Amino acid sequence: MTTTAPIHTSGSALPVTVEAVELHRIAMPLVRPFETSFGRQTDREVLLVRVLTDAGEGWGECVAMSEPVYSSEYVDGCDDVIRHYLAPALLDAATVRASDVAGVFGFVVGHRMAKAAVETAVLDAQLRASGQSFGEYFGAVRPEVDCGVSVGISPDLDTLLEEVSGYVEAGYRRIKLKIKPGWDLEPVAAVRALIGDLPLQVDANTAYTLAHIDHLRELDEFGLLLIEQPFPEDDIAAHVRLARAIDTPVCLDESITGVGVAIDAIERDATSVVNIKAGRMGGYLEAVRVHDACRDRDVPVWCGGMLETGLGRAANVALAALPGFTLPGDTSASDRYFAEDLTESFVLVDGRLAVPTGPGSGVTVRTELVEAWAVRPAEFITRA
- Residues of this chain that interact with ligand NPG (CB under 6 A) are 65, 70, 150, 203, 205, 253, 304-308, 330, 332
The least CB distance from residue 313 to ligand NPG, in Å, is 8
Farthest CA pair distance, the chain: 62
Which of 115, 176, 180, 277 is catalytic? The answer is 277
Q: How near is the Cβ of 151 to ligand NPG at its closest, in Å? A: 8
Query: Nearer Cβ to ligand NPG, position 51 or 188?
Result: 188
Determine the Cα–Cα distance for residues 253 and 267; give it in Å rounded to an integer: 16
DSSP 4: P
Distances from the Cα of 5 to the Cαs of 9, 54, 88, 291, 322, in angstroms?
A: 12, 30, 33, 10, 9
Question: Least separation, in Å, of the C-beta of 369 and ligand NPG?
Answer: 19
Q: Which is nearer to ligand NPG, 33 or 258 (CB)?
A: 33
Shortest distance (Å) from residue 331 CB to ligand NPG:
7
Residue 15 or residue 305: which is nearer to ligand NPG going by CB?
Answer: 305
DSSP letters along 16-75, please? B-EEEEEEEEEEEEEEEEEEETTEEEEEEEEEEEEEEETTEEEEEEE---SSTTSSS--H
**Measured from the CB atom, is 22 or 233 closer to ligand NPG?**
233
Closer of 96 and 202 to ligand NPG (Cβ): 202
Query: What sign results for the dihedral spanned by CA atoms 88, 91, 92, 93?
Result: positive
Residue 176 known to be catalytic: no
SS (H, E, C) 288-338: HHHHHHHHHCCCCEEECCCCCCHHHHHHHHHHCCCCCECCCECCCCHHHCC
Nearer to ligand NPG, 305 or 324 (CB): 305
Q: How far is the CB of 6 from ligand NPG (least distance, A)?
A: 28
* Residue of 115, 176, 178, 180 marked catalytic: 178
Residue 331 and residue 316 in contact, taking contact as beta carbons nearer than 8 Å: yes
Contact residues for 323 (Cβ-Cβ < 8 A; gap 6+): 4, 5, 139, 141, 295
Least Å distance, CB 360 to ligand NPG, is: 21
Q: Decide if 115 is catalytic.
A: no
Q: Using CB atoms, what's the residue nearest to ligand NPG?
A: 305
Strands 18-36 and 39-53, by their bridges, are antiparallel
Catalytic center residues: 178, 277
